[in-house]
Amino acid sequence: MQENETKPIPRTHHKKNVKKWILEGLQHWSWLTPSLIGVLIFFIIPFGVVVYYSVLDNPIFSNFVGLENYAKLLKNEAFLRASRNTAIFSGIAVPLSVVLSLWMAFALNSNIPAKSWIRSCFLCPLMVPIASVVMVWQVIFHYHGTLNQITALFGAEPIDWLKTNWSYGVLTIMFLWKTLGYNMILFMSAIAGIPRDIVEVAELEGASGFYTFLHIKLRYLSPTILFVTILSVISSFKMFREVYLLTGDYPFQSMYLLQHFMNNTFNSLDYQKLSSAAVLLSLVMIVIIGILFIIEWKYGEDVEE
Amino acid sequence: MKNILSRRFHEKLAETLLFIVSFLSAILFLMPTVLTITNSFMTETEITTNYGAMISNASSDKKAYIAKELNLKFIPDKVSFQQYSAVLFKNPDYLLKFWNSVILVVPITIFQILLASVTAYGFSRYRGKIREIIFFAYMILMLMPYQVTLVPNYLVSEWLGILGTRWSIVLPAIFSPFSVYLLTKIMRRIPKAYFEAAQLDGAGEFEIFWHICLPLCRSAMLSVGLLVFIDYWNMVEQPLILLKNEDMYPLSVFLSQINSGDVGLAFAVAVVYMIPALLLFLYGEEYLVEGITYSGGVKG
C-alpha cells in the first residue's frame, strides 16, 4: 500500500522540488487510500484466494493440480449450458435495450403533451420491489395465466412460457421492461445536450437526416451509449434475481444462467468448481470491458471538450 | 402554401401517433405498480381465489376455493384494509423486517456515497497511468455478477469473524465500486478551470473538494444514492448467504419467499415496502434525471 503512495505520475514541474513532489503524490493518493484498502480487503485479496483455490484439488489437503479444475469445468455440461445461455441472453438483450431506448428517446424528444408524466411512468420499474414484479410476471406467464387466456381468445393453444424455449423471450421482456425506461431517460437528457448549432449547420449544408444522425448525433451520444451499455450489462447480470424468484434453483434449461450454476455449486460446497468458474468469468469480463474501454478511449474522448 | 399545410398536418399526425404509442407504453410500465397498490386493498380470500393456482401445490388443503385460472385483476370487489391491518398491527414480524431493511440499507447508501465521492475526487482530479489501471480494475469489479464476489465475500466475512452479523453485508457494500465509477464519470465533466481558479485563490485540496466539487455534484450524488438505495433495498442473495439468523433478514428476502405461504398479504407488504422508494422518487426524480445526465451527456 504505502509504497504505491510515493509513486505519483511525474508532472512537468516536478524537478523543482523533490520533497514537494512526494508530498503532492501523497496528497493525491490519500484521496484513494480508504477505498483502496477496503477494496483490497473485501475484493482483491479474497479474489486472490479464489484463484489459489481454483488450482488445488481440495482445500484440506491442498494438492496443486494446475489447470485441472478448469479442464474439468470446460467439460461440465451444466457450466457450458449456463455460459451459453448467459452469453446469448446478455448478447441479445443488452444491445436490444440500448437500441430500443435510444430510438424511444429520439421519438419522445419531440413535443408531445404530458411528457413529464410519461417520463415518470417510465421510471416506475425502478421503484417496485422485484418480488412483487415477479408475482405479476408469474400471473401473466403462468400456464393458466393471463397471456394464455388472451391467446386462447384467438384460438391459440396454451403455451407453457416458462418451461419451453419461450422462456428466452420472457426473460428478454422482463429485462426490457426493467431497463428501457431508465436508459431512455439517460438518452433523452443526452440528446438535449447535443449542440443545436452544429446540427443546424449540417442541415443547412444539405446533410441528410441519416448523415446528421450517424456523424453528429451518434458521435455526441457515444459516451452515453457506452455508459448505458455498461449499466445494462450490470442489470442483465442482476436478472438472475428475477429468474431465481420466478423459477427457483433449477429453471427450464434455456433459463439456466451462469448465476444459477454458481449458486448451486456454492450450495453444494464445491469450492474448486466455483472458484475456477469465477476466475474464468472474470477473465471474460476483463476482455469485454477492455474492448469497451478502448472503444470509449478511441471514439468518445475527443468529443468531450 | 398547400404543401406547407399538408406538411404541418403530417407532423401533427405523427405527433399524435407518437403520443398514443408512448402513452400506451407508459401505462404498460406503470401497470405492475398500480396492480400492486390496488390488489393490496383486496381481502385475503379474493387474492387466493385469483392467484391461488400459482401456489396451489404449496397449500393443497385450500384447493377448494382456488380457481384453476389465474385472474389478473385490477379493481378489488370490495375495498378492504384487512391485509394492512394484518401486516401493520396483528403481527410485529413485518415491521421488524422492515426495520431490518432500514438498518442495512441506510448505512450502506450513506457511507458508500460518502466514500465514493472522496475516491471519485481522487480519480478525477489527478489522472495518471497507475490510477487509470486501478480505475479499470474498479470497473471490472463493478461489473462482476454478485455470484462471482460471493465466495470472496464469504471468505472475508469468515476471517474477520463477522459472518452472520450485519457487518458482513454492510462493510463490503460500502466499498462497492459502483458509485465510485458513476461519480468519477460525473466529476471528470467538471471543467478544470473551476479547480484551477480556486487553486489560484489559495484554496486547499479539501476546500476545493468541499466547496466546489461537492456542490456541483449534489444532484449527481443524490441520484447515484437513489440507485444504490434501490439496488440494496431489493437485495435477496446476500442475506440468504451471509446471515445465519432469520430474524435479521430484511423484508426483501421475506417478500421473495412469500409465494410459499401468505400470498394474501404479499401485496400489502409490497406496498409498505415500496413507500420509502416512492417517497425518494417523489423527492428525487428531478435529481435522478438531471444528475446522471451530467455524467452521460456532453457537458453543456
Question: Which CATH number goes with the domain that contains B231?
Answer: 1.10.3720.10
* The total number of structural domains that make up chain B: 2
Q: Across the interface, do A185 and B236 touch by the CB < 8 Å criterion? A: no
pLDDT digits over A92-123, tens only?
A: 999 999 999 998 888 777 777 777 788 788 88
pLDDT in the model for residue A98: 94
What angle is formed at CA B223 by the lines to CA B221 and CA B226, rounded to 5 degrees?
110
How many CB atoms sit inside 10 A of residue A183's CB? 28
pLDDT in the model for residue B28: 84
Q: Across the interface, do B293 and A125 touch by the CB < 8 Å criterion? A: no
- Could you tell me if B105 and B74 lie in one domain? no
Give me the DSSP letters along A131-191.
HHHHHHHHHHHSTTSHHHHHHHHTTPPP--TTSSTTHHHHHHHHHHHHHHHHHHHHHHHHH
Q: Which residues of B touch A193 (CB under 8 A)?
A: 293, 297-300
Residue B114 and residue A209 in contact, taking contact as beta carbons nearer than 8 Å: no
- Could you tell me if B198 and B223 lie in one domain? yes
**Can you list the residues of chain A whose pLDDT is less than 50?**
1-5, 303-305
Q: Which residues of B touch A73 (CB under 8 A)?
A: none
Cβ contacts of B275 within 8 Å, gap of 6 or more: none
Q: Across the interface, do B18 and A244 touch by the CB < 8 Å criterion? A: no
Residue A21 in contact with partner chain B when CB distance is under 8 A: no
The DSSP code for A302 is G
Strand partners, A56: A64
**Rounded distance, CA A35 to CA A3, Å?**
16
Closest CA to A89 of A222, A231, A248, A243: A243
A207-217 as b/e, with b when 16 or more CB fall inside 10 Å? Answer: beeeebeeebb
Closest CA to A190 of A208, A217, A215, A210: A217
- Could you tell me if B247 and B98 lie in one domain? yes
Q: Which of B63, B85, B107 is the last residue of a domain?
A: B85
Instruction: Please give the ipTM for the structure prediction.
Output: 0.80
Q: Which residues of B touch A227 (CB under 8 A)?
A: 185, 295-296
Closest CA to A212 of A231, A230, A191: A191
Minimal CA separation from B218 to chain A, in Å: 17
How many CB atoms sit inside 10 A of residue A51's CB? 14
Domain of residue B179, residue span: 92-296
Helices A218-247 and A130-141: crossing angle in degrees, nearest 10, is 70
Q: Which residues of B touch A118 (CB under 8 A)?
A: 22-23, 26
Q: Which of B53, B70, B85 is the last residue of a domain?
A: B85
- Could you tell me if B272 and B176 lie in one domain? yes
Residue A27 in contact with partner chain B when CB distance is under 8 A: yes
Closest CA to A130 of A230, A237, A238, A249: A238
Q: Shortest CB distance from B255 goes to which of A50, A131, A228?
A: A131
- Could you tell me if B104 and B199 lie in one domain? yes
Strand partners, A64: A56
SS3 A199: helix
Provide the whole-model pTM: 0.83
Residue A263 in contact with partner chain B when CB distance is under 8 A: yes
Domains for chain A: give ranges and CATH numbers. Answer: 2-53 (no CATH), 70-303 (1.10.3720.10)
- Could you tell me if B70 and B206 lie in one domain? no
First to last CA, chain A: 34
- Could you tell me if B70 and B103 lie in one domain? no
Q: Which residues of A touch B144 (CB under 8 A)?
A: 281-282, 285
Q: Shortest CB distance from A193 goes to which of B23, B277, B298?
A: B298
Residue A248 and residue A106 in contact, taking contact as beta carbons nearer than 8 Å: no
**Can you list the residues of chain B whose pLDDT is less than 50?**
56-66, 294-300
Cβ contacts of B43 within 8 Å, gap of 6 or more: B76, B78, B80, B82, B83, B264
Give me the DSSP letters along B87-98.
IIII-HHHHHHH
- Could you tell me if B150 and B264 lie in one domain? yes
**Rounded distance, CA A185 to CA A126, Å?**
12
**Rounded distance, CA B242 to CA B240, Å?**
6
Q: Which residues of B touch A25 (CB under 8 A)?
A: none
- Could you tell me if B72 and B97 lie in one domain? no
Q: Across the interface, do A104 and B22 touch by the CB < 8 Å criterion? A: yes
Mutate to test the interface with B, among A132, A175, A182, A235 (most CBs of B within 10 A): A132
Phi-psi region of A238 (alpha: psi -120 to 50; beta: other; left: phi over 0): alpha
Cα A232–chain centre separation: 4
**Rounded distance, CA B252 to CA B71, Å?**
25
- Could you tell me if B173 and B198 lie in one domain? yes
Q: Across the interface, do A136 and B31 touch by the CB < 8 Å criterion? A: yes
Residue B263 and residue B62 in contact, taking contact as beta carbons nearer than 8 Å: no
pLDDT digits over A210-245, tens only?
A: 787 777 888 888 878 888 888 898 888 888 888 888
SS3 B194: helix
Q: Across the interface, do A193 and B70 touch by the CB < 8 Å criterion? A: no
- Could you tell me if B271 and B183 lie in one domain? yes
- Could you tell me if B177 and B214 lie in one domain? yes
How many CB pairs below 8 A link A and B? Answer: 289
**Rounded distance, CA B283 to CA B209, Å?**
26
Q: Across the interface, do A223 and B296 touch by the CB < 8 Å criterion? A: yes
Q: Which of B57, B85, B113 is the last residue of a domain?
A: B85
Closest CA to A281 of A82, A91, A96: A82
Chain A, 74 to 103: residues with Cβ < 8 Å from chain B are none
Q: Across the interface, do B53 and A142 touch by the CB < 8 Å criterion? A: yes
